[in-house]
Amino acid sequence: MAKKHGGALPVKKNDLIQLTIEDLTHEGHGVGKVDGYPLFIPNALPGEKINVKVIKTSKNYGFGRLMEWHEKSPNRVEPPCPVYDRCGGCQLQHLSYDGQLAAKQKQVQDVMARIGKLPHVPVHPTMGMEEPWRYRNKSQVPLGMSNGSVIAGFYAKRSHEIVDVNHCIIQEKVSDEVMSLVKQKANELGIQPYDETHHKGVLRHVVIRYGRTTGEVMVILVTRTNDVPHMMELIDVLKENIKGLTSIIHNVNKQKTNVIMGEKTTTLWGRDVIYDSIGDIRFAISARSFYQVNPVQTEVLYKKALEYTQLTGEESVVDAYCGIGTISLFLAQKAKKVYGVEIVEQAIEDAKQNAELNGIDNAEFEAGPAEVVIPKWHKEGKKADVIVVDPPRKGCDEALLATILAMKPKRVVYVSCNPGTLARDLRVLEEGGYETVEVQPVDMFPQTSHVECVAQIVLKND
Residues that bind ligand SAH (CB under 6 A): 290, 292, 321-323, 326-327, 341-344, 347, 369-371, 390-392, 397
Catalytic residue of the set 90, 396, 417, 453: 417
233 SS3 class: helix
Nearer to ligand SAH, 37 or 330 (CB): 330
Residue with Cβ nearer ligand SAH (195 or 364):
364
Instruction: Name the residue number minimizing CB distance to ligand SAH.
Output: 323
On whether 342 is known to bind a ligand per the annotation, the reply is: yes
Q: Can 81 be counted among the known catalytic residues?
A: no
d(CA 10, CA 197): 41
- Order of strands, edge to edge, in the sheet holding 49-57? 16-20, 49-57, 62-71, 37-41, 30-34, 23-24
Query: Which residue, 261 or 341, has its beta carbon nearer to ligand SAH?
Result: 341
How many Cβ atoms are within 10 Å of 133's Cβ, its own excluded?
15
What is the per-residue DSSP string for 124-144?
A: PPPB--SS-SS-BSEEEEEEE
**Least gap, CB of 68 to ligand SAH (angstroms):** 43
CB of 340 to ligand SAH, least distance (A): 8
320 beta partners:
341, 389
Known binding residue 321? Answer is yes
Which residue type occupies 9?
Answer: L
Three-state DSSP class for residue 355: helix
What are the b/e assignments for 389-400, b being 16+ CB within 10 Å? bbbeeebbbeeb
Nearest to 285 by CA among 353, 193, 362: 353
Question: Residue 279 or 392: which CB sits closer to ligand SAH?
Answer: 392
For ligand SAH, the closer of residues 129 and 150 by Cβ is 129
Contact criterion met (CB below 8 Å) for 216 and 210:
yes
C-beta of 305: minimal distance to ligand SAH in Å? 9
Query: Closest by alpha carbon to 375, among 402, 415, 409, 335?
Result: 402
Minimum distance of ligand SAH from residue 410's CB (angstroms): 21
Least distance (Å) between residue 389 CB and ligand SAH: 9
* Partners of 441 in beta bridges: 453
Strand partners, 156: 87
Minimal distance, residue 322 CB to ligand SAH, in Å: 5
Which CB sits closer to ligand SAH, 97 or 414?
414
In order, the DSSP letters of 262-331 are: -SEEEEEEE-SEEEEEETTEEEEEETT----S-HHHHHHHHHHHHHHHT--S--EEEEES-TTTHHHHHH
Instruction: List the beta bridge partners of residue 56.
Output: 63
Residues annotated within a binding site for S-adenosyl-L-methionine: 292, 321, 342, 390
Residues annotated within a binding site: 292, 321, 342, 390
Catalytic residue list: 417
